[in-house]
Structure formats: structure tokens, C-alpha cells
Amino acid sequence: MNDMISHLRALRRDCRGYWAERILAEIEYALALSRASGNSHDSLLRTVLESLAAEHSELGALGRETAEETEARLQPLASEARSFQVICAAHAHIDMNWLWGFDETVAVTLDTFRTVLGLMTEYPSFTFSQSQASVYRIVEEHDPEMLKEIRRRVKEGRWEVTASTWVEADKNMPTGESLARHALLTRRYLGEVLEMDPNLLLLDFEPDTFGHSRHVPEVLREAGVRWYYHCRGSDEHTLYRWQSPSGASVLCYRDPYWYNAVVGPELVAEAPLYCRAHGMQSLLRVYGVGDHGGGPTRRDIERILDMDTWPIFPRLKFGTYREFFTAAEKSTVSLPVVDRELNPIFDGCYTSQSRIKASHRTTERRLVEAEGFASLASVVTSAPFRGPAFSRAWEGVLFTHFHDIVTGSGVAQTRDYTLGQLQRSLAVAAAEHGGALRRIASHVDTSSLGDHREDARNNLSEGAGAGYGVADFGLSRVERGRGRTRIAHVFNALPWDRVENAEIVLWDWPGDPSRLQVRDSSGNPLPHQVLPNDADPLFGTAYWGHDYLRVLVTVSVPGLGYTTCSISEALPPEIPSRAVQDPRVQRPESHVLENDRVRGEFDGQTGALTSLRDKETGEEMLDVSRAGGIFRRVLEDDSRGMTAWVVGRWMTCASFHERARCSGVQGTPRRQWLRYELEHGASRLAATVTLEQGSSVLTWNVECEWLEPGRKGQGVPQLNFFLPAAAELKTYRFDVPFGTVERGPAEMDLPATSWVMGIPKKGAHRALAVLADHTHGFRCRDNAISLTLLRSSIDPDPHPELGMHRFSFGVAVVDPGSTVAMVRAAAERAHPFSVISGTPHAGSLPLSQGFLSVAGGAAFSALKTIDDHSSGSLVIRLYEVEGRKSTAAVSLFCEPSRVWIADLHEKPVPTAEGMIRQDGATVHVELQPYRVTTLVVEFAGCR
């Protein structure tokens, strides 16, 4: 066989022209036939090759006559040759805003589709496949007449829609809820805009996605998707079943040939071997100019039509992915099962262009909160639910998930457009969230809490604070009260009771701050402290002509509900006399943050966290022999290139704490903090580390002026935070969409949605965890966790990070035996209490009310309306993370009229009827290991 291959290569090198290419390609294919059938055709092929070599030696060419004579000699192989089929699927890989702006993305989309539609008119058998709901949105908005043509071709079956996601999306950094919204919005939108049966959308087409997280098959199964196409993230099997921990699986094809092949004889060479190995008669080849669109060319089509006439060749046909996967499902061999994540690839993308990641994660979280409370308001108060506004806001988030956008591997135009789009989505979230809370508050009976006639003529406060807090991605803290008695409604976006600190802002309060008192909904005093106002360079300690007080209150708020506080001025006798605070003794500054759960010690000179002790067990959590709890400046080697995509080898690693100024601890046990400032090179960093009462999380709020550009040939600077553990760590638990995954030590960044926990080998009752707000790259090795915060990559954006950055992360002492507790702790950090100002009025709701509580081993994903926005229905999404069967008790504010289990498209799942049991206003839901459960509850007469 090897000698024949050598002869063939020599002839290919020396022979030119159509007929030479044709006959040599047929012989190469015949050699593959022979190999696939135990070398049964070697004798004939050796004779044919020797004859061709002799003729070429004599004539110096291989022409038509020679080719046709050789095809006649090979005629005994024709039937076997034509028994195999190559399905040629035309596609245009259109990157969303990769190395260009959105205007160019629109032009590329329309230009490509105009070419395709023109070719369809000329070639009646030609078919085309196209993914991404976003491109159909572009056509709908920018060329409605073209959309009509596409719709017609879809109905003919010649234009295949391969989209199950809004874009070809990253699968590591979005939350599980976002992946669910891809499925929901994409199927609904495409069904409507293309007038097609959405149940035909069975393929998730992700050719260029940078890795695929562990629970994706579970999401796809819940979305009714059966097939998965990808290229990256694995180099093993090409046709297999990919299975999630829940047992859900999809038929997966990893294209070994890539997704934008050039059409030529090489398309078919592997057909016999591949088909025999996989028990099939068909091979899939994907062709079409990609990345910047273009798609199939006339030459591609003509070559496919021509090669299909070659007698010693497989059948070539214009086909679809549906044809291939349908054939693959009938495979006569047992396909391998892959039950792991398909990672990693491009570890720099977990951090690059951090501003995109910060805006994306913030918008994602705020939309979930807004949608939850807007859904509740629609059921509880009959308020209208603005479904279209939420859908378009989600589209902005989902567009960001494109695999060159949220990953930070685009140009500056990519980033600028994305930040603008996310601002629009965030504006919807903020407006709808604030509106929903106000509508609920307007139905709360606060008539017993004050009289608005007080101080009406000299009132300054109403309307003060407009926009305050929005810059920190919270709700506007505008004041609605007046006088000395104020009302605040505190809302909890999570479905369990929480006792935490809430920050109430009082505008133009005429009382004495030293006599301020806060009472709960039962009239009981609440512990509180008045916080110092941060001086603003423009406003000082005032804000646009108004004065304000920040009051930290420890308050209990029921699950997915609210409570009401009243703030007033106590009479003098109720306030004990206080000694004059003249200085009498000088004491050293403290650099210890401590409460009843943890004790953190900081170096007073450098600001480094030097000790973190669990108060209950007495365990020291940090390796005190190593410089830990510090920021570091790493310099990466850039010689591999693609610096936005790839973290280079670490060349140097230095502490960022060489020049530090550190203050002593301030505050009270309710909230303590210390501040330190660092300078390293031209960059500066200011960190405030906070510890709340009852919390085991130290929180770093950081403002960093990063002036460390990357330089080609000199390296890529990086900022990270380093935390060494005292315990010997066995593995590291990462949160991923709809679950977790455990990974061993690795000298590379690996992705987490928001946190990583170090799992001790033995003896330790507590574990260290790092919770990130915005970036996703963690490097875990040598019993330590490093969080990558900023990277000054060079290409394709030469200056992605220069300037001011604000970010936050937490270091927590946690129970390594409870994943659901860790998931809930991360959720509480991501969804702090929301506070709005109230007024005295009558209403039908009590001063404190919980609408939804989830008890048991369930993790909570979202509360929303059913997608058809039918009145009186709520959707509750839960998922199981411990890997065991359990029951969740879902307690509702009133008894539902109907309860059922749905898929991700919110359609009933008949086989799940036995998974729920209703007991009045409590629904008991059976949770299967690692499964996503979507519960729909309908109400009648609860208002």
C-alpha cells in the first residue's frame, strides 16, 4: 500500500490538468476503498498505477483518453465506490463583530445571503444551511424583502436553519439561565419570523465555540435539541454521544475537517474508512467561505456537480446537517460516550477585555432580578408585564455571548458596540425592576407608619437622589418621603429568608443623625449604623444640591419578597447620654477584620492578607509561610501570538504590594472595613476590604488605574490575586452553567462562571473559596487559587485594558461538603437587597411578605412569566447540584390552581407528572441528580 501511495504522490506532483486531477483523485479514493475492505483491491490498483506511471513517463501527461481508459479498467469498483455518499452542506460562517463593527456585520450578512439566494435561483438542487438567530434579525430589520425570499426557501426545504442559539455562543461564561434563554428566545423567534415549525430546530451548531461546559447536554435535552456540531474543545472522537452528569445526551459530531472547507477531490478521500468505522454510508463535509461571510461559491457548486459524475467516486449531493445526523442516528455500531466537559481552549478568553465581561455579568444578573419581580407584580397586582421589552433586552445579552465578543477576542469597535448594547439592556432591567418594586410597594399598607402632611411646605427631599446608585449598577435611590419619618421597602430577589445588611439612603433628612432610629415591620428596633459619605470630586458629600445619609441596617427579608422599615428621630430620653469623645489614650491601629465567624489579619505595611481563621473550628485557612492574599503583576510571554486568546508562559511574577499605604480598621461590628493603596510601575490600585456581621466572606472592592500596556516582543502584563491554602488540596470545584465540575491542578487558566473552591484532601472541615464578580479565569495549582483580573493583550485590540477599572471579588470560608450552600452563598453575593423609598398610604398587602420560598437541595436559577405572557402564570427554574435525588419544597404566597413540569420552551412534559405533589400553597418537587427542573404554577383568585 505504501508503494502505491508513493506512486500516486509522484504522479500528482508531476501531472496537471482536469483529467489528471480526476483520475488520480479516483485512484486515491479507490485506495481508501481497498483499505476499508482489507486491501481487497490492491492488486488491481497496483497494476493501474504502474500503467499510468509508464504512460506519463512516455507522454509526459495524463489526458482525457488515458483517464477514461483507466476509469473503464476500474469499473469493477464502481458499484462499491458509489455505495458511499458525501453530504455537502453549504454554510457561511459569519462572525458577529469580530474584527469589525456592527455596520460591517450587517453588510457581510446581507451580501452573503444575496449571493446565496442568487445561486439558489441558478442551481435548483443547491441547498444552504445557516445558523444564528441574530443574522435573521439583521435581515428582518435591514432587508425585509430578502427575508421573504429566505422564508420561501426555508419552506421549500432548500434553506436549512441550524440555529438553536441566538449566536454561536460561548458555553463557559454565561450562566445556565442564559443558555436556557438562548434556546427559548431562538426557537420562538425563528418560528415566528420564518413561519416555520420550531420543533424542526434540533441542531445546536457551534463550529468555532471556545469550549463546551459540562452540563450543556442537559440544557439541550431540556430544549428538545438532539444534535450538536462543534470543532474545538476535543481531539478524540468525531462521532459520539456527549453525556452530562444527569444522563442526558446528544449525538455529537466534531468535524475533523473544519467548517469552511474548499471544495475539491480531497473532500471524499476519507469517506470509505470513516463510514465503515461508524456504521454509516454517508460522510458530512461542510463548505463555504467563512469568518467574514461569503459562503459557497459558484466554483464550489460546479465542482460538486461535476465530481458527482465521476464513476469511481462516491455520490456527492447538496445536503443538510439534518440528513447527516438522521443517518448517524441509525448507525450500526455502538458509538462512544463522552461524559466530560469539552475544554479547555483559549484560556486568555476567560479574562480578556474585562469591561465587556463586567458589563455582561452585571446586565445578566440585573435582568434576572427585574424579570422576577416584574413577573410577581403581574400576578400580585395585575400590573402589565412588558414581555417584548424583556425579550429585546435579553437579545442584547445573548448577542454578547458570541464566541469572539464575551471572550474579549475582538477589536475596539467590538467592545464599544457591545458596551453600548449592554447599556440599553441594563436600562430596561433597571426601569422594569424599579417599576415592579414600586408597583408592589404601592399595594403595601403603610398607613400606620407616618403622615405625609408633616413638613410639607418646606420639603426638599421628594425627588432628591434621582439616579443615585445607578453608577454602581443598582436601582436609583430617589427619595419619595419627607419629614423626620421615612419609609423604606427592602426586597430580596432570592427564594429563601435572609438576614443581611441593607443600605438605606435618606435625602435631606431634617433630624439629628445621633438620634436616628430604625424599626422593622412589627415596630421593633433594628440595629443600624450611619455610614460616612464617600466624598465625590464633583459633589463633595452632597449630591446635586441635596444632602444625604447612608444608614446600614441589619434586616430580615422573606424569600422573594420584601419587608418594610420606618426611620425616624427618637425622643431625647430614648437616647442614652454619651461621653464626650476627647482623645485620652492613643492606641495602635488595628488591621484585623473579625466577626463571630472569621478573623482576617492584614499586614499594616503592605495590605496583604496574612491570616484567615475560621472561628468555629479554629482552623487557619491560609498558608502563612507563603506570601498570600496579595495582588501580583505577572508578565506573560507573547511569542505564541494570539494574546487575547492565549495566556502565555509566565516569565515574571511580582507582588503588587511593594509601595503600599494601609489604613486601620473602621466601622462597627455591623460592617468593618480597611483600605489600602498600592503603586506598581505606572499603575495604582485602591482596595477597600469589607467584612459584614454574620458573614464568612471578605470582600475586596477595587479601583485600579491600569497603565501597563502589552508590547510585542516584550510580553503581556497581567494583574491577578493570589490566595494560598493551608490545607493540601485534592481538587478544585468550579461553578459552571447549571452545575459544578471538579478539576485537578493545572498550570493554566480554567473557566468558572463565578467561583472556585479548593477541596482539601483530608482533615479540614472548612475550605477556601474565591468568588469573582466579572472575570472567569482561575489558575489553581500548588494548593493555591489565583484569580486573573486584567490582561493587557496585544492583538487584535492593542490596548484593551488601559484606564480605570472597578471590580469586586470575595474570599470565603465555606463548607466543602455542601455544593448547594456554596451556590446559594454566591447567589447572595450576586443579588444584594434592593431598597426603595416609600410613602404612607393604604393598601392590600402587609408590611412584610414572602412570595416564594424554596427549601431543600435545589439551586435557584430564575423566576419569570410563562413565555406567552398569559396572565396569572409563573415559571420557577431550579437545578440539582449535589448529585443525588431529593425533594424541594416550593412555598408560594397563595395556593396555585394548577402546577406542572415544563421543558425549557415551557411546554408540558407529560412524563414528569409524578414528580410533583401539591399541598395547599406548597408544592413538593422531585429533583433528579444534576437535572434542570422548570416548574410552572398558575394562579386564580390570589389578588
Q: Which helix (H) or strand (E) holds 89?
A: strand 85-90
How far apart, in whole angstroms, are the C-alpha atoms of residue 719 and residue 32?
53
C-alpha cell at 121: 435561483
The alpha carbon of residue 448 and the mean position of all alpha carbons in its chain are separated, in whole angstroms, by 45
Hunting for cell 442551481 — which residue is that? 123
User: HSE (CB half, 13 Å, CA atoms) of 891?
Assistant: 14
β-bridge partners, 249: 243
Strands 858-865 and 873-880: antiparallel
From residue 799, give the alpha-carbon distance in Å to each of 235, 381, 408, 414, 708.
33, 49, 12, 13, 9
| Single-letter amino acid, residue 291 | D
Q: Which of 595, 368, 494, 476 is nearest to 833 (CA)?
A: 494
Secondary-structure percent of the chain, ordered helix, strand, coil, rounded to 5:
30, 30, 40
Tell me what pLDDT residue 457 has.
Answer: 67
How far apart, in whole angstroms, are the C-alpha atoms of residue 431 and residue 475?
8
- Low-confidence residues of the chain, pLDDT below 50? 539, 579
The alpha carbon of residue 351 and the mean position of all alpha carbons in its chain are separated, in whole angstroms, by 13
pLDDT digits (tens, 9 = 90+) for 746-759: 999 999 999 999 99
Strands 159-161 and 128-130: parallel
How far apart, in whole angstroms, are the C-alpha atoms of residue 407 and residue 210?
9
pLDDT digits (tens, 9 = 90+) for 353-394: 999 999 999 999 999 999 999 999 999 999 999 999 999 999
On whether the CB atoms of residues 31 and 2 are closer than 8 A, the answer is: no
Q: Which of 917, 253, 851, 934 is nearest to 560 (CA)?
A: 851
**Which residues in 120-136 are b (16+ Cβ under 10 Å) and which e?**
beebeebbbbbbbbbbb
C-alpha cell at 435: 417599576
Tell me what pLDDT residue 869 has.
Answer: 60
Tell me what pLDDT residue 581 has.
Answer: 55
C-alpha cell at 85: 455518499
Tell me what pLDDT residue 582 has.
Answer: 64
C-alpha cell at 879: 437545578
Listing from the earlier edge strand, what are the strands of the sheet with 716-724? 650-655, 630-636, 716-724, 784-791, 777-781, 750-751
The alpha carbon of residue 368 and the mean position of all alpha carbons in its chain are separated, in whole angstroms, by 13
Residues whose CB falls within 8 Å of the CB of residue 870, separated by 6 or more in sequence, listed in order:
none
Sign of CA dihedral 370, 224, 296, 159: negative
C-alpha cell at 381: 397586582
| Single-letter amino acid, residue 806 | R
How far apart, in whole angstroms, are the C-alpha atoms of residue 84 and residue 821?
54
Q: Which of 679, 783, 767 is nearest to 729 (CA)?
A: 783
Give CB contacts under 8 A, 24+ apart, made by 472-475. 473/362, 473/366, 473/426, 474/834, 475/430, 475/433, 475/434, 475/437, 475/834, 475/835, 475/836
Main-chain dihedrals φ then ψ at residue 635, nearest 5 degrees? -115, 120
How far apart, in whole angstroms, are the C-alpha atoms of residue 303 and residue 283?
17
The residue length of the chain stands at 943
Task: Give all strands (DSSP E) within 577-670, no chain letters.
Answer: 592-594, 598-602, 609-614, 630-636, 650-655, 659-662, 666-668
DSSP H helical segments within 248-293, as ranges?
Answer: 271-278
DSSP H helical segments within 102-175, as ranges?
Answer: 102-122, 133-142, 144-156
C-alpha cell at 139: 435581515
Residues whose CB falls within 8 Å of the CB of residue 222, separated by 6 or more in sequence, listed in order:
180, 183, 248, 903, 904, 932, 934
How far apart, in whole angstroms, are the C-alpha atoms of residue 685 and residue 702?
7
Residues whose CB falls within 8 Å of the CB of residue 178, separated by 6 or more in sequence, listed in order:
364, 397, 398, 401, 737
Strands 239-243 and 337-338: parallel
How far apart, in whole angstroms, are the C-alpha atoms of residue 466 and residue 423?
18
On whether the CB atoms of residues 735 and 823 are closer than 8 A, the answer is: yes
How far apart, in whole angstroms, are the C-alpha atoms of residue 617 and residue 629?
21
The DSSP code sequence of 489-518 is EEEE-SSS-EEEEEEEEEES--S-GGGEEE
On whether the CB atoms of residues 120 and 298 are closer than 8 A, the answer is: no
From residue 551, give the alpha-carbon distance in Å to each of 61, 236, 518, 674.
91, 58, 9, 19
β-bridge partners, 811: 698, 770
| Single-letter amino acid, residue 541 | T
DSSP tag of 77: G
